[in-house]
Amino acid sequence: MSPPEQDMHGPGVKVPPPLMVLAGLLLAWALNWLAPVMLGPPAPELGLPVMLLAFLLMGWALLVLVRAGNDPRPDKPDSQFVARGPFRLGRNPIYSGFLLVAAGMALVWGTLWGWLAVGGIFLALDFLVVRREEAYLERRFGQDYLDYKAKVRRWF
């Protein structure tokens, strides 16, 4: 049985998630420049390792997706259901990585705007991307995805 025609076009994510993250970080950077609100001293010794961890996590997840034959772009259909590698730990390791990058930047800056960006990026990813993808994956992979969803958390 082939998936419904609409599922052959992917989850319908309109704005690429990396652009959402970049926009949130650029807005925070601009606000930091215009009206800095320090929460504490900048902590690059914490922020940089967090960002390194984020890039390693995202690289691992991308490798697993590509090896499975999937295009990692969220506007493309998935050919395979993937529940291995970092996807055993959380359903959205790439987006969790994006949040870790934003948190790393917030630590480096030490400002309120950085942490508000983390929250805004989280909300944008959760409501504009993740929920769309989950509905798509439920339609595309049915019970296999529902079983996975019941066992694995959305976010790390």
Q: What is the pLDDT of residue 84?
A: 97
Residue 50 lies in a domain: yes
Asked whether residue 104 is assigned to any structural domain, the reply reads: yes
For residue 116, is it within any domain? yes
Domain-located, residue 89: yes
- Name the pTM for this structure: 0.92
Q: Is residue 7 part of a domain?
A: no
Residue/partner pairs of 119-124 with CB below 8 Å, 24 or more apart: 120/24, 120/27, 121/20, 121/21, 121/24, 121/25, 124/20, 124/24
Q: How many domains does the chain have?
A: 1
Average pLDDT over residues 11-20: 94
Mean pLDDT on 33-42: 95
* Paired residues of 129 in beta bridges: none
